[in-house]
C-alpha cells in the first residue's frame, strides 16, 4: 500500500472488502454443530503454523524485524524536520544567510535570536545567531520562509539532553567548510519544487 492510499481520507472511495465471518449460530443445535466443526477442523493448527513460519523466516531467512537502534538506524525521510543546518553556497563557500531576519520573525516559539552588523566591506553579516532547541517545535516555518535556502532541517534527530534549554550556535549548524562537497540540499519545507525551472518567468524590465 502506498503513501497515497494511506493519506486518502475520502471514505467510500477505497476498496474495502468485508471478510466472511460466517453467521452467528442460532439455537442449541447450530451452536453444537459449530463447536463440533471447530473441534475437528484444525483451525488452531493454522495459528500454530503461522507463528512457526514466522520463526523459520526470522531465523533462517533473515526476515527479522528488529533494528538494533543505537548501532543501526532506519533511513529517515529527506523531508524529516530535525536539528537545523545552515547551508553554504557551493561556489564560493560563504554562508547563504543574508541576515534578513525573516526566520527570527516567523518563528512561532520565538527561539531564534540573531543580530547583524556591517563587515569591513560594508556588507551585512550575521554576528550572532542562536536557536534554543529547548523551545523549538520543529515546525519548519523558518526553513520555509528563508529566501536563500540557508536555514534548513538536517538529519540529526538524536537531540535528547539533560537540560531544558539547548542552544545551537550559527557556527555549529553551518556546514563545515571542508565538508562542503558533502552538503545536501533539503527536500522538505521551503525547498524549491522539482519543476521550479519551468515555472520561472522573465521579469519584464521595460514597460
Partner 1 sequence: MEITLVETLPQAIHEVTAVGVIIKAVIILAVISAIAGFGTYIERKVLAFMQRRLGPMHVGPYGLLQIAADGIKLFTKEDIVPQNANKFIFMVAPIITAATAFIALSAVPVFPDFTIPEFVPLLGGVFVPSIASDINVGVLFVLGMMAAGLYGPLLAGMSQANKWGIIGSARTAIQFLSYEVVTGLSILAPIMLVGSLSFVDFNNAQSGGIGSWLIWQQPVAFVLFLIAGFAETNRTPFDLLEHEAEVVSGYATEYSGMRWGMFFIGEYANMITVAIIASVVFLGGYDADCTLGWLFIILKIAFFFFLMLWVRASWPHVRPDQLMWLCWKVLMPIAVVNIVITAIVMMV
Q: For the window 62-101, what string marks contact with ligand SF4 as x by the rule CB under 6 A?
A: -----------------------------------xxxxx
Q: Which does 50 bind (CB under 5 to 8 A by kind): ligand SF4, partner 1, none?
A: partner 1
* Nearest-approach distance from CB 136 to ligand SF4, in angstroms: 3
Q: Which does 63 bind (CB under 5 to 8 A by kind): ligand SF4, partner 1, none?
A: partner 1
Rule CB under 6 A: say whether 134 interacts with ligand SF4: no
Listing from the earlier edge strand, what are the strands of the sheet with 167-169? 112-118, 124-132, 167-169
**How many binding residues for ligand SF4 (CB under 6 A)?**
26
For residues 48 and 76, which CB has a smaller minimum distance to partner 1 in the complex? 48
Beta-carbon neighbour count of residue 30 at 10 Å? 12
| Residues numbered 110-169 forming contacts with partner 1, rule: CB under 8 A | none
For residues 143 and 186, is the Cβ–Cβ distance under 8 A?
A: yes
Alpha carbons 121 and 177: distance in angstroms, whole number: 22
30's CB contacts (< 8 A; 6+ apart) are none
Cell 495459528 appears where?
47
* Nearest-approach distance from CB 51 to partner 1, in angstroms: 4
CA dihedral 40, 46, 52, 54 (to 10 degrees): -170
| Residues numbered 18-57 forming contacts with partner 1, rule: CB under 8 A | 35, 39, 44, 47-48, 50-52, 54-55, 57
* Nearest-approach distance from CB 125 to ligand SF4, in angstroms: 11
Q: Which does 150 bind (CB under 5 to 8 A by kind): ligand SF4, partner 1, none?
A: ligand SF4
Closest residue by Cα to residue 166 from 84, 71, 70: 84
Alpha carbons 131 and 110: distance in angstroms, whole number: 9
Q: Is the dihedral of CA 86, 89, 92, 97 positive or negative?
A: negative
Q: List residues near partner 1 by CB under 8 A.
A: 35, 39, 44, 47-48, 50-52, 54-55, 57-59, 63-66, 68
Amino acid at each position: 500500500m502506498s503513501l497515497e492510499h494511506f493519506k486518502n481520507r475520502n471514505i467510500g472511495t477505497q476498496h474495502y472488502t468485508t471478510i466472511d465471518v460466517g453467521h452467528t449460530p442460532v439455537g442449541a443445535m447450530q451452536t453444537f454443530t459449530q463447536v463440533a466443526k471447530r473441534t475437528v477442523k484444525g483451525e488452531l493448527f493454522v495459528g500454530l503454523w503461522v507463528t512457526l513460519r514466522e520463526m523459520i523466516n526470522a531465523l533462517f531467512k533473515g526476515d527479522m524485524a528488529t533494528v538494533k537502534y543505537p548501532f543501526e538506524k532506519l533511513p529517515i525521510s529527506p523531508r524529516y524536520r530535525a536539528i537545523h543546518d545552515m547551508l553554504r553556497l557551493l561556489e564560493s563557500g560563504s554562508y547563504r544567510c543574508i541576515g534578513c531576519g525573516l526566520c527570527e520573525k516567523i518563528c512561532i516559539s520565538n527561539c531564534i535570536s540573531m543580530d547583524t552588523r556591517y563587515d569591513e566591506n560594508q556588507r551585512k553579516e550575521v554576528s550572532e545567531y542562536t536557536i534554543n532547541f529547548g523551545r523549538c517545535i520543529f515546525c519548519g516555518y523558518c526553513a520555509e520562509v528563508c529566501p536563500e535556502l540557508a536555514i534548513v532541517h538536517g538529519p540529526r534527530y538524536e537531540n535528547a539532553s539533560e537540560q531544558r534549554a539547548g542552544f545551537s550556535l550559527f557556527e555549529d549548524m553551518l556546514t563545515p567548510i571542508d565538508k562542503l562537497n558533502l552538503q545536501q540540499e533539503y527536500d522538505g519545507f521551503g525547498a524549491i519544487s522539482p519543476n521550479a525551472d519551468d515555472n520561472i518567468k522573465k521579469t519584464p524590465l521595460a514597460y
